[in-house]
Amino acid sequence: MSFGRGKQHATTTFGNVKADVLKQFVPGYQRGDFVDIVDNSGWPE
């Protein structure tokens, strides 16, 4: 689903190519989550 708007997208549209490559070739690499970063930032709402 595309941001909850009910549109279906192929699974290939998920994520980021660079992060996929790093996950494949860098042991222990974990991709960050944008929403978690924003939610846990010190920015005021």
pLDDT of residue 30: 83
Written as tens digits, the pLDDT of the chain (45 aa) is 445 566 665 555 556 788 888 888 889 988 888 888 888 888 876
SS3 34: helix
pLDDT at 9: 54
- Cβ atoms of residues 19 and 31 within 8 Å: yes
Residue 3's pLDDT is 52
The two three-digit tokens of residue 18, written as one number: 């660079």
CA distance 32 to 40: 12
| 33-37: Cβ within 8 A, 24+ apart | none
Which are the contacts of 7, defined by CB distance < 8 A and separation ≥ 6? Answer: 1
pLDDT at 13: 52
